[in-house]
Structure 1
Amino acid sequence: MYQLAPNIELLFTEAGDYQDRVRAAAAAGFTAVEMWGPTGVDAPAKPKDIPAVRAALQETGLVLTAQLSEPRTQFMIPPFDESPFFNKLDEGVAIAQELGCSRIVVGSGTGFGGSKRQVQLDKLIDIYTRASAQIAGSGITLVLEPVNVRVDHPGSLLDRTAEAVYVARGVDSRFFGVLYDLYHSTVEGEDPATELANAGDTVRYVQIADAPGRGEPGTGSIDWPAALGVLRASGYDGPIGLEYYPTTESAESVRLIQALAAEA
């Protein structure tokens, strides 16, 4: 079975604050959760009471599988200032360690029309090679997420799984990999089996939502038993983040995927 991690930015909001959402996820039968940025410097994430979240995780025994890097940085846009990312990275790692979280999600930012795409991808390799060196020994894995540009993230540089894999192989660190988001991949028209076969062991985390619509599994057109079968066949056996916008009450929205994940 797959371990599912509801995103507490989007799910169990009925419970109240973030620490209460952790408890609600535990009450609904989950053993893990994920979240966006811990300090809330980037909208739509909001600031978290880190000690309270830590206490809720310890109380329930839930694992925090992933958090977002802060702040969002436009690496490719002039004046090409990478310092906000590097300056905040150590703080993000310290928070992740405090919360027992082993992954930090990173991105590419907006692509720059004044530079060749290959040059920008190679720049990402350099940036994340340096970032991996900066946090060496922390036990934290950075996972690079390609996102769709057709619906949710117009202008983003990294919209293809294969290009994220190219960057991950260029960084060549066991503490750096790819976040494969089935929703983003599907919206971009990719074939998951092909992309996962190419990605191999660079995939260090997975997120899901249904498509179209980015609702809970069962609200779109994805064949979920088949999708989980493809994921299992690829060799991925880590946690799966539930990063979707529920169309009903949270505990109701997770029932289908809970049942399917228990059999996958």
Structure 2
Amino acid sequence: MIKLAAHLEINFGKGVSFGERWKAAKRGGFRGCEFVWRNADLSEAVELQKTAPLAVSCLGGTTGGVAGARPVLVLPEDRERLAKDAEAAVAYAGTLSCSNLIMVAGSSIPGWSLEKHRQEAVASLRYIAPILEAAGVTALIEPLNSKVDHKGAYCDTAAEGLRIVQLAESPNVKLLYDAYHMQIMGEDHSGVIRANHALIGYYHLAKVPGRTEPIGGEIDYDALLEVIGETGYDGFIGLEYKPSGEYSTAFERLGSTYPAYM
């Protein structure tokens, strides 16, 4: 059965410790969570999973948007570093019984064609596929909207994300379908999901416009959740939103609106 997962970073404001965010998600009725693995001490997460049990549905942070602290998926010079980070990420994930890592394709490189970006992204994924497959962990390629939040993003449509997934030719590379990003890019959610559900490994939700909790707005999430369920998907769906008010109030609203998925 589909279950909603809290995002332990974006669902909270500043000044709330990782441990309190985890416990607040548990108190809020969630059975799963996601977060950026680089930002949380593994030993603390292990202890929290024992004392306030939550499944870790996926982990972000393995790749970044621009060259710098994190390797960029499309940069060939980052490929060795990506492999090392993938090894660290799958080890972290395995300790928490998590089987998903979010990866973004990065910002467009000036002078590169769309095909060049795609070629390099696929080459990087094929390079780390043995690491993923040996660990039983899936890389989730997340297209980001390039109109509002991530101007300059290379992979900004479901179609491009799906091309990368197909060309990677690994069962451990799938698409992360973020309904917020794809609504901004004008996607036909039901059509894309029904036609490509076998290639989709995870979902994110947030309200459009505003990127607050997914209640109201342009997307009929009751209907969309039904469509996702009809495909046979029965995993977690991440709530990657910024609360419209206090995080605890947002959790209460979500519990009241989607009791069947908490």
Establish whether residue 146 from structure 1 lines up as the match of residue 143 from structure 2. Answer: yes
Pairwise CA distance, 1:158: 0.3
Letter in 2 for 1:30: F
Distance change (3 Å), C-alpha of 1:16 and 1:115: closer
Establish whether residue 101 from structure 1 lines up as the match of residue 93 from structure 2. Answer: no
Residue number in structure 1 paired with 2:62: 70
Residue number in structure 1 paired with 2:4: 4
Pairwise CA distance, 1:71: 4.6
Residue number in structure 2 paired with 1:90: 87
Residue number in structure 2 paired with 1:34: 34
Residue number in structure 1 paired with 2:111: 114
Pairwise CA distance, 1:182: 0.5
Letter in 1 for 2:92: I
Instruction: Give the one of 226, 242, 260 matched to 2:239.
Output: 242
Residue number in structure 1 paired with 2:43: 51
1:59-110: CA deviation from partner (whole Å, max 9, x where unpaired): 1221111111435233446x84333322222111111112222111011111
Q: What is the RMSD computed on CA atoms of the aligned residues?
A: 2.1
Counterpart Cα distance in 2 of 1:30 and 1:263: 11
Residue number in structure 2 paired with 1:42: none
Instruction: Give the one of 206, 210, 214 matched to 1:213.
Output: 210
Establish whether residue 170 from structure 1 lines up as the match of residue 167 from structure 2. Answer: yes
Segments of structure 1 that go 5 or more residues without pairing to the other structure are 40-46
- Identity among equivalent pairs (%): 27
Counterpart Cα distance in 2 of 1:262 and 1:130: 42
Counterpart Cα distance in 1 of 2:17 and 2:42: 12
Q: Is the 8 A contact 2:102 2:142 kept in 1?
A: yes
Letter in 1 for 2:46: R
1:2-50: CA deviation from partner (whole Å, max 9, x where unpaired): 21110000225588311221111111111111112x22xxxxxxx3222
User: Helix, strand or coil for the counterpart of 1:5?
Assistant: strand
Q: TM-score, normalised by structure 1?
A: 0.88
Establish whether residue 230 from structure 1 lines up as the match of residue 222 from structure 2. Answer: no
Counterpart Cα distance in 1 of 2:182 and 2:247: 24
Counterpart Cα distance in 1 of 2:104 and 2:58: 14
Q: Is the 8 A contact 2:12 2:243 kept in 1?
A: no
Residue number in structure 2 paired with 1:23: 23
User: Helix, strand or coil for the counterpart of 2:133?
Assistant: coil
1:174-208: CA deviation from partner (whole Å, max 9, x where unpaired): 22111000100101111101211232211111111
Counterpart Cα distance in 2 of 1:55 and 1:13: 23
1:187-243: CA deviation from partner (whole Å, max 9, x where unpaired): 111110121123221111111101011011225332221221222233322210011
Q: TM-score, normalised by structure 2?
A: 0.89
Distance change (3 Å), C-alpha of 1:256 and 1:236: farther
Q: Is the 8 A contact 1:110 1:155 kept in 2?
A: yes
Pairwise CA distance, 1:123: 2.3
Distance change (3 Å), C-alpha of 1:177 and 1:76: closer
